[in-house]
Structure 1
């Protein structure tokens, strides 16, 4: 089974996503989490990404009985990091329920919210307004039953099992981005 673990800042329009991506990549390569040079280690697009490096083991919190080789794609051809710097919708693939709620009134608004993505995707708006109570916020401010992210910046770890990412690794990511982050797990 293929999977992606995607770290997404919780802001629709991240300022200067390319510049921030370079800074995060520099940090990841200095820590030897990913290799510093592009290589053919991802699927899709031009197949170029930043390959898994030995230091990736340090970002995992593994329970007894699980090895780094089970959680990370050592020895697999698809093993790298893809960085997205264009507006994307990051949702789980298998079993995605499309459920969302309003943080203000706590009502289910998933259908209306996901219909609004037709305006969000071309950047006509970053916000969504709850049809039940009128609360308006960046789309990332709404509650999702399954973790999702909506941003022009995303870090896609191909075949890395993010379920084992250390909380500290995610906190360091958030610190470097200056935004809270969400981990989106995709399995296909």
Structure 2
């Protein structure tokens, strides 16, 4: 089964997101986690992505499970507003951090306004608490942002906590790690 491990800032609109993406890519190349040049190791569009490099072994929890030699194994960067959720078994449940009650259905309905950028925020219909949509509580890791880093088929390898912390530091944002299992792949 094909997987994606996606690192996403927990902020709807990351300021200067394209410049931050380039900085992250430069850092990952310096650390030899990815190759500098694009190649056809991606999954979407023209399949162009950054191939994994030997330094990926030091950021993986299980380096022996990295997808070396697989056709789809590269890092793709998303710089458009996107909803990053697991495809398989996603529960669409969310809670308000203020009143601690379930608000999943209205929150996910609000994505029709969030997606085109009409708003970054969601207001709890039960208590009136308002925050960036990423500030609400989700049962499964997910995120909503204009920036995302999709590591194709890295799911079984995992990331070290130090790598996730460094990624968050480079982005100057809290991050979510969204695990996706792709059906029929």
Give the TM-score normalised by structure 1: 0.95
Aligned counterparts of 1:121 and 1:43: Cα–Cα separation in 2: 23
Q: Which residue of 2 aligns with 1:21?
A: 21
Answer whether contact 1:162 1:183 (CA < 8 A) is retained.
no
1:135 to 2:120 alignment: no
Secondary structure of the 2:127 match is coil
Where does the alignment leave 5 or more consecutive residues of structure 2 unmatched?
none
Secondary structure of the 1:93 match is coil
Aligned counterparts of 2:68 and 2:20: Cα–Cα separation in 1: 27
Determine which of 126, 132, 151 is the counterpart of 2:120. Answer: 126
Aligned counterparts of 1:142 and 1:32: Cα–Cα separation in 2: 35
Aligned counterparts of 2:8 and 2:52: Cα–Cα separation in 1: 19
Residues 132-186 of structure 1 deviation map (CA, whole Å, 9 limit, x = unaligned): 1000000000000000010000000000026621111000000000001010000
Cα offset for 1:60? 1.7
Q: Which runs of 4+ in 1 moved over 4 A?
A: none
Q: Which residue of 2 aligns with 1:78?
A: 72
Where does the alignment leave 5 or more consecutive residues of structure 1 unmatched?
63-67
1:5 to 2:5 alignment: yes
Secondary structure of the 1:146 match is coil
Using a 3 Å threshold, how does the CA distance of structure 1 residues 163 and 127 change in structure 2: closer, same or farther? farther
Q: Which residue of 1 aligns with 2:158?
A: 164
Give the TM-score normalised by structure 2: 0.96
